[in-house]
Amino acid sequence: MTQKINDLRDRMIVALDVPTVWDAYRIVSTLGDGASFYKIGYRLAFAGGLDLARQLVTEGKKVFLDLKLHDIGNTVTEGVESLTKLGVTFLTVHAYPQTMRGAVEGRGDAALRLLAVTALTSYDDGDLKDAGYGLAVRDLVRMRAQQARSAGVDGIVCSAAETEIVRDVIGPDMAIVTPGIRPAGSAVGDQKRTLTPAEAIRAGADHLVVGRPIIRAADPRAAAAAVMDEIASAA
Ligand SMILES: O=c1ccn([C@@H]2O[C@H](COP(=O)(O)O)[C@@H](O)[C@H]2O)c(=O)[nH]1
């Protein structure tokens, strides 16, 4: 269930896509009070990132564990049960019905909020076709948002470009979390469905995930502040 976002800073989630815990800590201390929410993906999770997640939570930061779980239902249930003990805010699973149902069972009554990844933001219609899907991105996102709602997860990961169709399907209570955020002029890289921070907020995204435009900036603190300024002006 969506919780009111009291701190505007929580709308920006900085992706700690770095090789070591030491690199991650350097970013966290550089950003200081300029960021309150961090995402740990598998690069870092496989290199001590789960202990870092616990530590950041202890220090009052919010953590999004982006593990994109996908397996048989029982294995997902058991994996999620273990992860409920870390104290993180968000965990991703792929938006397959069995996977999502398994994750909801594993979460039980814990405070952990489950996000369902609909269609990766590096995919366009051609990539989906290559992967064997007969649906356009927007249709797959809509279908998976419906299934996510039925499964009882707490939010959706999609491009901010799909916020409107997703909100229409899931209603006001689930969170919409959008990677593929690119401030004007920043390199797009492998992302294919991008919006600027201001566009994403205006479109109705709850949280924006920003990685390389901040962590690879010459001045990450200034880059994060610029994203926050855009969020504040559009909110
Ligand atoms: O659909 C998705 C799901 C997750 N991600 C993750 O978000 C960040 C984006 O990083 P950038 O450097 O800002 O591109 C990254 O950790 C991805 O694994 C996503 O991009 N799209």
Q: Is 197 a pocket residue for ligand 1 (Cβ < 6 Å)? A: no
The pTM score is 0.97
H/E segment holding residue 208: strand 207-210
H/E segment holding residue 156: strand 155-157
Report how far ligand 1's centroid is from the alpha carbon of 41 (Å): 9
**Confidence category of residue 1, pLDDT binned at 50, 70, 90:** very low
Q: Is 73 annotated as a binding residue?
A: yes
- 62 Rama class: left (phi>0) / alpha (psi -120 to 50) / beta: beta
Q: Is 70 annotated as a binding residue?
A: yes
Computed over every residue of the chain, the mean pLDDT equals: 97
3-state secondary structure 45-68: HHHHHHHHHHHHHHCCCEEEEEEE
Look at residue 3 in the predicted model and tell me its pLDDT: 60
For residue 176, report the phi and psi dihedrals to the nearest 5 degrees. -115, 120
Report how far ligand 1's centroid is from the alpha carbon of 153 (Å): 20
Look at residue 158 in the predicted model and tell me its pLDDT: 98
Query: Could you give the ipTM of this predicted complex?
Result: 0.99
Q: Is 157 a pocket residue for ligand 1 (Cβ < 6 Å)? A: yes
Q: Is residue 196 within 8 Å of residue 230, measured between CB atoms?
A: yes
Residues 6+ apart with CB under 8 A from 26: none
Look at residue 5 in the predicted model and tell me its pLDDT: 81
User: What is the position in ligand 1's atom list of the atom closest to the CA of 122?
Assistant: 21
* Residues 99-124 pLDDT 10s: 999 999 999 999 999 999 999 999 99
Mean pLDDT value across residues 146-155? 98
Q: Is 66 annotated as a binding residue?
A: yes
